[in-house]
Homo-oligomer: A and B are copies of this chain.
């Protein structure tokens, strides 16, 4: 049996099975047109680094290498336009269009840039790494907004909820800081995902490496990579950096979806604790009274896209051959819109939180009305009257029941009421004074004394904010170093190219 039977398959690149007319042509051309101005400069950059290495290792002659570098050096927007105009289906891969162009300019030697390489790497990793840089940036801005607003609201007392029921008083500042911690951990994962993504695979051949005497580290350095994917089949088969990106996005978006949903609930008429700034609201075409906090819905919804992205990647990678298959490249591209959406959502949500109108008086009102301070009453009974915790709970429960039956608020609990409840539950008379009782039941006071490590007391929240602020500065520095490293690699690459272009001799 012959794999290839017909004669007419020789394409301009001399490959068997060449492309001619195909139902895929139109979309491939469209893809090239859409992406050329972003991708071609990337290809050129990598070609330069690779060529410099091939020259240094004497895999190609200095003469050929110089010609190639000259041609690469001259590629500009006009050249890209030319490639688009001359798009040819036979070399449908965008990089093949570049090769066609170079060949037209300097002849067949242009193809020598492909020595010991296969196409997809390292472009998809570079593009992904670039997006991650943007995402890190977005999370830094967002975290600054959270810290700022947490700081502004360390004393903004509100009910704390568990199971959406009043549990213990908290502050809006403490709430935001908890959110900060979750975003902070997830952002660290984005940095780790960047570091895993930003590895260089070139030189892996198709999967087996090469018999040419190449140096993989040199181009990796010139392109600002953080290291190699060493094993030549691992280099074309790996998916973990993609999974890591989506996992980090998930950890960013789960808390964000929940906080957005909380703010949506708190914006309801019944809660009335916060209000979206006018410029972010959606009006209704039908209901004149509406002021929909739509951005919270938009932000909440984005988690679904992340999950969808994860499902797409994992399912597409299931049971496919372990090595280079078309899924490997496509999956790396497929998460681009997902990352862009998360960057957008962080901008929206940051703006939403930073301009949020916080109705402090309503927050406090709910906190006063809702019996969320009574764990402190139990603590008081334990401390002052030495009553075991569960029995103290029994007394408090009795107090709450009485209040509810009589329509009294938590702030209306009297020493007498507590004594009666204690008598009923324990059979004994206890002593309790007015001052500590009032103090225990006041949400603002509650917040102040809950100063255990990580707790809601303004002093403790301020302490935590300071620590996190310092940590965030370090994050900002790491990001600056990351950008600097890329910038320096770029400069060094250009220096080396120019040195050769300026060298005399052939």
Contacts and interface: CB of A to CB of B under 8 A. Distances in A.
Q: Which of the four size classes fits the interface of chain A?
A: 35 or more
Contacts of A272: 1, 3, 270
A5 B401 CA distance: 8
Contact of A326 (B9, B290, B294, B348): B294
A348 B272 CA distance: 31
Contacts of A316: 301, 303-305, 318
Contact of A460 (B209, B269, B425): B209
A9 to B, nearest CB: 5
A165 interface: yes
A372 B169 CA distance: 31
A407 B5 CA distance: 11
A109 interface: yes
Given A258-B321, A285-B93, A375 B206 contact: yes
A296 to B, nearest CB: 9
B251 A371 contact: no
Given A17-B278, A268-B164, A303-B314, A111 B464 contact: no
A264 to B, nearest CB: 6
A214 B452 CA distance: 7
Chain copies in the assembled complex: 4
Interface in A232-284: 232-240, 243-244, 247, 250-251, 254-255, 257-262, 264-265, 267-272, 275, 278-284
A430 interface: no
A310 to B, nearest CB: 6
Nearest to A204: B454
B280 A450 contact: no
A268 B165 contact: yes
Interface string A148-177: 000000000001111111111110001101
A181 interface: yes
A80 interface: no
Interface string A186-227: 100100000010000001111111111110100000000000
A291 interface: yes
Nearest to A95: B285
Contact of A327 (B189, B285, B297): B297
A132 to B, nearest CB: 16
Contact of A314 (B240, B307, B362, B401): B307
Interface string A301-317: 10111111111111111
Contacts of A203: 452-454
A379 B115 CA distance: 8
Interface stretch (A19-27, A71-79, A481-489): A19-27
Interface in A349-377: 351, 357, 359, 361-362, 366, 369-372, 374-376
